[in-house]
Amino acid sequence: MSSNFFRQEVDAAVDALLLQQVILYPTDTVWGLGCDAEVPPAVEQLYKIKSRPAEKGMIVLVADEEMFAKYAQVVPPNLAELLASQERPTTYIVAGSRHLAPNLLAPDGTIGLRVVLHDEFTYKVVRRLGHGLVSTSANISGEPTAATYAEVNPAIVRAADYVVSWRQDDQTAAQPSTVVRVLPDGGLEVVRS
């Protein structure tokens, strides 16, 4: 695929996000649904598309440590070292901040944040958007996760405001991220490996 096509897809995804729309896109893990993490109506629409209970929080992708700190009340003191040693995408559950859409947080006030290190497309979208990007698996709540575009439920495809064409032909099944909870003392507890 050409670099021009890549740029067009990044631009189109960011344009849709800036219009407060929901996109279907290849993440740094599995295929996902996303929207601007600071826009409550877009988050609400995303919950409706997934038929997901509002009390279930979602993941937010960020571009770097600075964006991570914007959305986290507690940043692990060794975040740079943790990111440098990651072998696969890792989501950190932290106390969320006032900058996020309130309907994005779990009932306990936490949010899952993941710095995009393993996927150029997702990184470019987040960087250009300048905000966190919601990332939730592209499936109806309770259905299997879509590791490839071919596995995405057609109802999800129809419900998304914009469907990214980049990587639709990929056949490599990706895995969800590792999930760890950041404890008040800065320690980590593995939730999903």
pTM confidence score: 0.95
What's the number of CA atoms in the CB half-sphere (13 Å) around residue 22? 22
Residue 136's closest CA among 3, 11, 43, 74? 43
| The token pair that represents 33 in the structure block | 């649904």
**Per-residue model confidence as pLDDT tens digits over 13-66:** 999 999 999 999 999 999 999 999 999 999 999 999 999 987 788 899 999 999
Confidence at residue 172, expressed as pLDDT on a 0 to 100 scale: 81
Going by their DSSP bridges, the two strands 110-115 and 23-26 should be labelled as unpaired
Confidence at residue 1, expressed as pLDDT on a 0 to 100 scale: 57
Q: What does each C-alpha distance from 82 to 17, 87, 91, 122, 184 come to in angstroms?
A: 29, 10, 11, 20, 17
Domain ranges of the chain: 3-192
> What CATH class does 3-192 carry?
alpha beta
Confidence at residue 87, expressed as pLDDT on a 0 to 100 scale: 86
Low-confidence ranges of the chain (pLDDT < 50): none
**Please, is 42 exposed, middle or buried when counting C-beta atoms within 10 Å of its C-beta (0-12, 13-18, 19+)?**
buried
| The token pair that represents 62 in the structure block | 């960020």
Confidence at residue 125, expressed as pLDDT on a 0 to 100 scale: 98
Confidence at residue 171, expressed as pLDDT on a 0 to 100 scale: 84
Confidence at residue 186, expressed as pLDDT on a 0 to 100 scale: 76
**Please, is 148 exposed, middle or buried when counting C-beta atoms within 10 Å of its C-beta (0-12, 13-18, 19+)?**
middle
Confidence at residue 123, expressed as pLDDT on a 0 to 100 scale: 97
| Euclidean distance between CA atoms 135 and 37, whole angstroms | 9
